[in-house]
Amino acid sequence: MDTVERYLEVFEGLRRRKRWSTDTNILRFAALTLAATGMEDPGADLERTAKVLADEAGGFSPLSSSMRHAVAAIVIRRGLDPAATVRRSKETLSAFKEFKLARSGANPLLAALILVLGADGGTPSGDTVARLKAIIDRWEEDHWFLTGVDDYPMAAMHATRNTSVEQLGVEVEEIYQLLRTAKFSTGEQLQLVSHLLVFSDQGPREAARRFEQIARNLKAAKQRVWQSHYDEVALLVLSGGRADEVVPRVVEYRDRLRAVKPKPTADIAFSIAAGCVLAEEAERMMGLEGAAAAANLRAVQAIIEAQQAAMIACIAATTVVATSAST
């Protein structure tokens, strides 16, 4: 069974258990996370974990929405206790107040969750939260009009690393300007790309060059690369795969996903296809490099999870707006 078949098997199992109030697109991303666990039928575990998350978080939390299923998938993949994870995330959010960080909404919650995951399910230190604040402040120096709560999850990812805040800021800005010069559309999506590509161990210039190459190959394969696709292109860069190898697989997987009912949108199909290729590249990395690649592999997996969670937060917010508009 190949990666796409495995993904579709897990997604169909989740969809059979779907309640009317659960967003199908959120289940698609949950399935992508769970497909990597090797669990035979994760549907029951997902429902049980999602319920614990919602009950522990309370009715006014973003975890009371369909978003809880995607977060539940991440918790299951990490083998964490869901109730304890929510409690520690709440404690972390409380610590945000000291640093005048926003605490309401999906993105602050996801940032707190990422910090908890970075502490292997424990409570992050005050120093880690202070580092998150320092990173946000540094990014605001270059792009005060772009930087906000949407950047909290990626700032949380970087807060768990040892890179100096100033070095991080310099490299992020270098990547942003290199891609701006290459005529990629400026704005929040390009800023997210710069936050992702700085994880590359090849340096800003090579990371930006590979981003250009993969985007160019996708366009040549008649896959439009909109701003909404920039983060997937960045993750394909981080996978380490060659552009002439990963791009044909992304296009093939996208078409296979679009041929299955219920048919995903073109954007969702592209995101899932890229996620399947990333899963394959992660396995390849482990197989070729063994234990020496374990740390980098875990980092890339965590980035993928954070990116998926950010996408989920966006979908959840859109769903709320659409529901409100119709009532």
Q: How far apart are the C-alpha atoms of 169 and 195, rounded to whole Å?
A: 9
In the structure, what pLDDT confidence band is assigned to residue 327 with cuts at 50, 70 and 90?
A: very low
18 CB contacts (<8 Å, ≥6 apart)? 24, 27
Which residue would you say has higher pLDDT here, 318 or 241? 241
Q: What residues does each domain of the chain span?
A: 1-79, 86-138+149-160, 163-327
Q: What is the pTM of this model?
A: 0.90
Q: pLDDT tier at 24 (50, 70, 90 boundaries)?
A: confident
pLDDT value at 14 more than 70: yes
Whole-angstrom Cα distance, residue 207 to residue 214?
11
Q: Given this model, what pLDDT does residue 284 score?
A: 76
Give the span between the Cα atoms of 284 and 155, in whole angstroms.
Answer: 28
d(CA 290, CA 285): 8
In single-letter form, the type of residue at position 275 comes to G
> In which band, very low, low, confident or very high, does the pLDDT at 303 lie, cut at 50, 70 and 90?
low
pLDDT in tens, 208-242: 999 999 999 999 999 999 998 999 999 899 888 89
- Percentage of the chain modeled with pLDDT above 90: 63
| Band of residue 126 on the pLDDT scale cut at 50, 70, 90 | very high
Averaged pLDDT for residues 25-47: 89
pLDDT at residue 38, as a whole number: 83
Question: Which residue type, as a one-letter code, is found at position 232?
Answer: E
* pLDDT one-digit tens code per residue, 239-252: 888 999 999 999 99
- Region of poorest pLDDT, from 8-12, 257-261, 280-284: 280-284
CB 118 within 8 A of CB 270: no
Cβ neighbours around 177 below 10 Å, total: 15
Residue 255 contacts by C-beta under 8 Å, 6 or more apart in sequence? Answer: none
CA-to-CA distance for 105 and 53, rounded, in angstroms? 16
